Amino acid sequence: MESTVASKLEALSKLQSIDSQLDEIKRVRGDLPEEVQDLEDEIEGYEVRVRKFDDEVAALNDAIAQRRQAIKDSEGLIRKYEDQQQNVRNNREYDAITKEIELQKLEIQISEKKIKEAHYQIEQKNSEIEETKHRLEERRKDLDNKQKELEQIVAESQEEEKKLEEERQEAASVVEDRLLSAYSRIRKNVRNGLAVVTVKRDACGGCFNTVPPQRQADIAAQKKIIVCEHCGRILSGVELRAY
């Protein structure tokens, strides 16, 4: 059976009433869900930063270990060259070995300098890690508080929300798809979430622009679905004026 315009408008009005109640629940929750999400993102950012610093410190420690090994190797070579110097046959051989020893001493100096630099960098990184961890700790406390606050507010309205969601599904199921998508589109485009309004005091209940008498008569007749020519909201009926 084809449903009448009147029954379509009634179904839409019911849907609007349920959605407005759900909007109110969300309004009470306010920015909390978003704030919680922002804090979670911020915390994740700090955690990534700490891991990155940790990796960098580990790489610097590896470099230090390599340099230390290189120093040991150079020292071993120097001892070997000094032994060889005891048994040289001429000055030319002696000088050549002296040059090798000097070269290894230079290598040791370079390694010592690099180790010193790496230690300094590690110190810098560690203080950055400390600072980041401190901020991380603070943000975790903030998150904990906000989550508790949100949980409490959600708990207070959870039952009502669940009931409304069920009612909404039922109310939406009787609205034809084309009309339902128009309703959703209007709701998304208007600030107060009202897609279905009545004419009150000769004005659109959504944007408060005047609705001319003939148009009001058409709306009241419910022969077709009429939208406000100013804001596009569906006008479901005309509220009678109290004279």
Q: Which is nearer to Zn ion, 87 or 213 (CB)?
A: 213
Contacts with Zn ion, residue ranges (CB under 5 A): 204, 206-207, 228, 230-231
Residue 179, C-beta contacts closer than 8 angstroms, at least 6 positions apart: 8, 12, 225
- CA 169, distance to chain mean position in Å, is 29
Residue 241, C-beta contacts closer than 8 angstroms, at least 6 positions apart: 201, 202
239 DSSP assignment: P
Q: Which is nearer to Zn ion, 33 or 232 (CB)?
A: 232
Backbone phi, then psi, for 205, in 5-degree steps?
A: -70, -5
Q: Which two tokens stand for residue 133?
A: 């961890």
Q: Which two tokens stand for residue 211?
A: 């609705």
Q: Which is nearer to Zn ion, 147 or 198 (CB)?
A: 198
What is the nearest approach in angstroms of Zn ion to the Cβ of residue 226? Answer: 11
**5 CB neighbour count, 10 Å cutoff:** 13
The rounded distance, in Å, linking the Cα atoms of 182 and 195 is 9
Q: Which is nearer to Zn ion, 101 or 231 (CB)?
A: 231
What is the nearest approach in angstroms of Zn ion to the Cβ of residue 13? Answer: 16
Q: Which is nearer to Zn ion, 71 or 204 (CB)?
A: 204
The rounded distance, in Å, linking the Cα atoms of 82 and 34 is 72
Q: Which two tokens stand for residue 72?
A: 């040991």
What is the nearest approach in angstroms of Zn ion to the Cβ of residue 206? Answer: 4
What is the nearest approach in angstroms of Zn ion to the Cβ of residue 220? Answer: 16
Q: Indicate the burial class of 228 (C-beta count within 10 angstroms; 0-12, 13-18, 19 or more).
A: buried
What is the nearest approach in angstroms of Zn ion to the Cβ of residue 183? Answer: 15
Q: Which is nearer to Zn ion, 43 or 203 (CB)?
A: 203
Helix (H, G, I), strand (E, B) or coil at 210: strand
What is the nearest approach in angstroms of Zn ion to the Cβ of residue 148? Answer: 42
Q: Which two tokens stand for residue 87?
A: 């048994």
Q: Which is nearer to Zn ion, 67 or 237 (CB)?
A: 237
Name residue 46's beta-bridge partners: none
What is the nearest approach in angstroms of Zn ion to the Cβ of residue 209? Answer: 5
